[in-house]
Amino acid sequence: MVFISPTKGSMTFDGMFRDIMDYVGELPENGYKIIIGTDSHSRDEVCFVTAVIVHRLGKGGRYYYHRSRDRKMNSLRQRIFFETALSLGVASRLYEKLSQNGHSDLNIEIHLDVGKNGETKDLIRDIVGMVAGSGFDARIKPNSYGASKVADKHSK
């Protein structure tokens, strides 16, 4: 799985993890939040982008993204569930690495591309339940900038 850092270029998952640890290590006394969100854009096929954002609370952050393509999905419901599954997959891998390296205290949020307005409002309960059942905090629009801003920027 290849991630792209806008400032450092392509890196493996392990490379991204090391970069996150270096970033947190620069100012360890600061508060941090790790945000993971996925968005998609559909044409002949669907482009999925999963973003990993490290927010140094009150002092900016950095992000990485992974792009993948899949067959066209006609169902919005199917696409939203697949986006959520991609985010959960990355979050689980990242949490496992954080735990192995003594950083299980770093909070991971999953930002979902669903909101109370629009076509996805009927999916909120199911999608948030899927994330909460996996042990992660969930955010929906308008508080889900990881998916609706960062991942969206690279999905088109």
Residue 34, pLDDT score: 97
Residue 46, pLDDT score: 93
Whole-model pTM? 0.95
Task: Give residue-wise pLDDT tens across range 93-150.
Answer: 999 999 999 888 888 999 999 999 999 999 999 999 999 999 999 999 999 999 999 9
Given a contact cutoff of 8 angstroms between Cβ atoms, the answer to whether 136 and 128 are in contact is: no
Given a contact cutoff of 8 angstroms between Cβ atoms, the answer to whether 10 and 2 are in contact is: yes
For the chain, the structural domain boundaries read 2-155
| Among 127, 46, 115, CA closest to 80 | 127
- Confidence label for 89 from pLDDT (cuts 50, 70 and 90): very high
DSSP 58-105: TS-EEEEEEEEEEE----HHHHHHHHHHHHHHHHHHHHHHHHHTT-TT
Q: Which residues pair with 10 in a beta bridge?
A: 4
pLDDT over 90 (residue 29) = yes
Given a contact cutoff of 8 angstroms between Cβ atoms, the answer to whether 147 and 35 are in contact is: no
Token pair belonging to 23: 């970033």
Residue 40: Cβ within 10 Å count: 24
State percent of the chain over pLDDT 90: 89
